[in-house]
Amino acid sequence: MEETKVIDVQALVNAHPFSRYQWLVFAMCFVIVLMDGFDTAAIGFIAPSLVGEWHLSRAALAPVLSAALFGLACGALLSGPLADRWGRRGVLIAAVLIFGLACLASGFASNLTELTALRFVTGVGLGAAMPNAVTLMSEFCPNSRRATIVNLMFCGFPLGAAFGGFLAAWMIPQFGWRGVLHFGGAVPLVLTAVLVIALPESVQYMVSKKKPVERIRKVMARIAPEAASAESFVMREATVRDTDGGGARIVLSRGYVFGSLMLWLCYFMGLVIFYGLINWMPVLLKDAGLSPQRAALISALFPLGGAGTVLCGMLMDRFNPNGVVAAAYALGAVSVIAIGQAIGNVGLLVCTVFVAGLLVNTAQASMPALAAAFYPTAGRGTGVAWMLGVGRFGGIAGSFLVAELSRQRMSLPGIFTVVAMAGAASCVALLLKQMASPRIVANVADGQPVAH
């Protein structure tokens, strides 16, 4: 009985089978990320319809395509420090509510200015939701399966983006482009009610902030029954010496700053590829002679390829995670170049788009798990969120890059080749991060209680 009085929360999670309660947390976070992917990509799939209905030029589309990306960056950069200070749960629920309301309202926009403003607000919610879902889920995972489970959850993002393409191809002829946005707003609003009722706070966060032991015990007992008799909970993890400045101080500390910069650069370049293609591929393929419906269906295969993230997570748990993700980026760059060479052959184009999506999105979707494992609890929310936030500017750059290359009348193979170079940069960034792995010294003795 004495052994149950003081419990190391991570050690207990590591030793206990993944419980139904943890799967419930996983399911809620998965749906959040699924709708995040859907709402993020929806604007790209409705872009051809906007061009026709509002008589827009392709250049005029750039602001509305990028508005959500600016919001994504703002939401992520702001939400990380808030989550490290006030908790993951509340920030996450507020984020889902914001992007649900804003996406629903976007379906009622009457002009490009209104739609651009509403897409920015949608992006703020989306940007805050993603990193907090990743952080919360990672803190409910055993160490030996963290990358696999977080990557499995993150599969919701490319699947949601792909679903947006398939739904748009079916819904737009039936209900118009507004119906896609109405759907993308209604589901998160229902989800918000579920989260208020069922979503728990991160146990690791509560322990690190010395929350009442009753709150921690209530959650831990649903993971492992033996936690019901605990009198205090501890964490044994390495951290930086001075955490008074919060998560930002940890992320930018001497031991972590170079790794943080490499994570930012890698995610930035990955999103140059993702958003450059997800936003513009339907238009580019339409210009290449495909019908709008076929262009949307083929483009939807690109984010669908992210389902390979689960295998990547398993490899990350077994081998060097930086090397695994770096290899995926390198192969992804080659496959993106191949898309441009396949224009004109529909069968080959379908295959290359899917393979490129499999590699690029697998690598990109593995980055949050890589970041979550890199930072300690006190800085994890900020570390993951800032990587996602800074990286979002890569999405903005990617959208404008393809717009400019198209305006300059560069050939389609040339456009895909230029975009692919970002994958090579991501590969190099992760290899440099691995070479400079930090050696962090714990500022507390192992086993010192941080909640009681």
| Residues 6+ positions from 437 with CB-CB distance below 8 Å | 259
What pLDDT does residue 85 have? 82
List, for residues 68-92, the tens digit of each pLDDT value.
Answer: 778 888 888 888 888 888 888 989 9
**What is the band of 237 on the pLDDT scale with cuts at 50, 70, 90?**
low
What are the strands of the beta sheet with 6-8, ordered from one edge?
Answer: 6-8, 232-234, 449-451
Residue 58 has what pLDDT? 65
pTM over 0.85: no
Band (pLDDT 50/70/90 cuts) for residue 93 is: very high
Contact in structure between 381 and 131 (CB atoms under 8 Å): yes
Region of poorest pLDDT, from 219-223, 232-236, 277-281, 445-449:
445-449
Instruction: Quote the CA–CA distance of 338 and 357 in Å, as a whole number.
Output: 12
Lowest mean pLDDT among 47-56, 108-117, 148-157: 47-56
* Domain ranges, ordered by start, for the chain: 2-439+447-451
Rounded Cα distance between 278 and 360, Å, is 12
**CATH topology (fold) of 2-439+447-451:** Growth Hormone; Chain: A; (1.20.1250)
Report the C-alpha gap between 85 and 209 in whole angstroms.
Answer: 9
Confidence tier at 305 by pLDDT (50, 70, 90): low
| pLDDT beyond 60 at 131 | yes
For residue 345, what pLDDT is reported? Answer: 78
Round to whole Å and give the CA distance between 70 and 72: 5
For the cut 90, the answer to whether the pLDDT of residue 94 exceeds it is: yes
Statement: residue 166 has pLDDT above 70: yes
pLDDT at 363 over 70: yes
Give me the torsion for CA of 415, 417, 422, 427, rounded to 10°.
Answer: 160
pLDDT digits (tens, 9 = 90+) for 2-37: 445 777 788 888 888 888 989 999 999 999 988 888
Give all strands (DSSP E) within 131-275, no chain letters: 232-234
Residue 197's pLDDT is 92
What pLDDT, on a 0 to 100 scale, did the predictor assign at position 269? 93
What's the pLDDT score for residue 194? 94
Specify the pLDDT at position 234: 79
Assess whether pLDDT exceeds 70 at residue 412. yes
Q: CA triplet 342, 338, 422: central angle to 5 degrees?
A: 140
Cβ-Cβ contacts under 8 Å for 314 (sequence gap 6 or more): 147, 148
User: What letter would DSSP give residue 110?
Assistant: -
Short-list 448, 15, 78, 439, CA closest to 259: 439
Higher pLDDT, 299 or 331: 331
Query: Which of 131-135, 144-148, 304-308: highest mean pLDDT?
Result: 131-135
For 87-138, where are the alpha helices, taking DSSP H only? 88-106, 112-138
Say if residues 103 and 122 touch (Cβ distance below 8 Å). Answer: yes
Q: Cβ of 203: how many Cβ atoms within 10 Å?
A: 27
Band (304; pLDDT cuts 50, 70, 90): low
For residue 449, give the H/E element and its range: strand 449-451
pLDDT at 439 (0 to 100): 46
d(CA 403, CA 104): 27
